Amino acid sequence: MAEPLLTELSARELAQKIAKREIRAVDATRAFLEQIDTYDRTLHAFNEIYNDAAIAQADAVDHSLDRGENLGVLAGVPIALKDNLCTLFGHTTCSSKMLQNFCSPYDATVVTKLKAAGAIFVGKTNLDEFAMGSSTENSAFGPTHNPWNTQCVPGGSSGGSAAAVAGRLCAAALGSDTGGSIRQPAALCGIVGLKPTYGLVSRYGLVAFASSLDQIGPMTRDVRDAALMLNVIAGPDAKDSTSWPQPPPDYLRDLEKPPEKIRIGLPKEFFGDGLAAEVSNAVHAAVDFFRNHGAEIVQVSLPHTRYGIAAYYVIAPAEASSNLARYDGVHYGHRTPHASDLFDLYAASRAEGFGPEVQRRIMLGTYALSSGYYDAYYLRAQKVRQLIKDDFDGAFEKCDVIISPTTPDVAFKLGAKSSDPLAMYLCDVFTVTCNIAGIPGMSVPCGFSSTGLPIGMQMLGPVFSESNLLRLARFYELAHDWRTRKPAIAPSS
């Protein structure tokens, strides 16, 4: 049997073969860089590509291994980073004109941990500007295209990372998830996306959107790679005051053990109007698989789900309004050359630097926090947040894991929802409550539509239940071939 292409190997397989010196890190890195050169002008998954630096990193890994040195668990593995993670190398733009030329003076904690593990950074991936969007069409540098159908969106806001992983342009990637921005694009691109429990992964060096909702997580081609990546990036960090102080478990240790006596909850609110029949059928088929393997299936209710989108689009813009106030044309970021006074400098710099969606959310958040409206909007949304968390707490007394669709439908055409913000916001109807409650969630491929587009299944669990979610997802994954399917991408002209 012919050896698989290097770009078809999982991150774990690559790491093991490089450690055993069966392949060289430089060869693996060149293979992925060639993939980027061949396909990324079609996909536009990357904002920056680090050809020379990546080869130099890989060469250093090879020399260290040749000397018999023990390196980290990702030594020589090509990784991509969402372009809202601060790095000492390259630019950190958040896909915004506001930060188009920004060079960070420090690395994000997750980047430091990946460096220590020996990962090779091939580039920074495209996103909706400041992570505000569900399609990666809001980028100041142009949209990313879905590898399965380049006329469709890859989801957002981590659409660049999702497209890069699905298109075999990197072995794995990091994304950030504020209301579904890892899980939704993972579902639309047919990969695995994990949003960890709030506080499990340090947010230090993640450019803030909504600080009480943001979380960094892995985007990979299979569940085992997600566990491997989480092992590297999870853990306490003194630089992040919201970081959980206890060390995390080894997520690979029991990954291959089949789950026992699992109770799976189906929330009736996630299977109602607006859900595409093909998506519903694929998720129910997955539930039947678990039922046939001994799982107990129980009906649960999350009654405040219907308020999730409304609460999210008060809380997140309010926090964004505060976090983005620092981009004023004075300290750093875009500064207009056309200003007659200080007020004009602030107004023009922000109008020129921020795109329409970011401006919309800043205005929404500023209004919700303004005098006379704070109690009516922000305070009420925070009360709904508590009710949503209570719903999940009650549901997890009856079940161990909640399963639902990740998205209401498969990937839609580029531009189809650009003129209707509400329709775009509803793409996240099944994902936002996970962030509101601070619980872990992941999306796993569970089928394809009649048009050949991926379908994702969402798994939600109580806080710090990542090990159980990963085991259940791995059990399902090994019985199906979704992860082995590969999109046919036309080479870039």
Catalytic residues: 82, 157, 181
Kindly report the backbone phi and psi dihedral angles of residue 297, in degrees, each rounded to the nearest multiple of 5, phi listed first.
-100, 125
CA dihedral 144, 74, 107, 432 (to 10 degrees): 50
Please tell me the distance from the alpha carbon of residue 203 to that of residue 321, in angstroms, as a whole number. Answer: 18
Phi, psi of 451 (to 5 degrees): -95, 5
Pair type for strands 263-267 and 296-300: parallel
Distance CA 146, CA 164 (A): 9
Q: Helix or strand or coil: residue 81?
A: strand
CB 19 within 8 A of CB 87: no
**Contact between residue 183 and residue 458 where contact means Cβ atoms under 8 Å apart:** yes
Residues in CB range of 21: below 8 A, 6 or more apart = 65, 66
Bond preceding residue 135 cis, omega within 30 of 0? no
| Cα–Cα–Cα angle for 376, 381, 384, rounded to 5 degrees | 125
Sign of CA dihedral 340, 341, 344, 349: positive
> How many Å apart are CA 421 and CA 112, to the nearest integer?
36
Neighbours of 345 (CB within 10 A): 17
Q: Tell me which residue of 66, 62, 69, 129 sits closest to 99, measured CA to CA.
A: 129
Residue type, position 26, single letter: V
Query: Is residue 125 within 8 Å of 161, Cβ to Cβ?
Result: yes
How far, in Å, CA of 82 to CA of 124, rounded? 5
> In sequence order, which residues have a C-beta less than 8 Å from that of residue 340 and are 6 or more positions away?
none
CA distance 456 to 463: 22
Alpha carbon distance 89, 74 (integer Å): 19
Question: Which tokens hold the place of 351?
Answer: 């109008």
Residue 458 identity (one-letter amino acid): Q
Q: How far apart are the first and last CA of the chain?
A: 32
| Separation of alpha carbons 316 and 490, rounded Å | 37
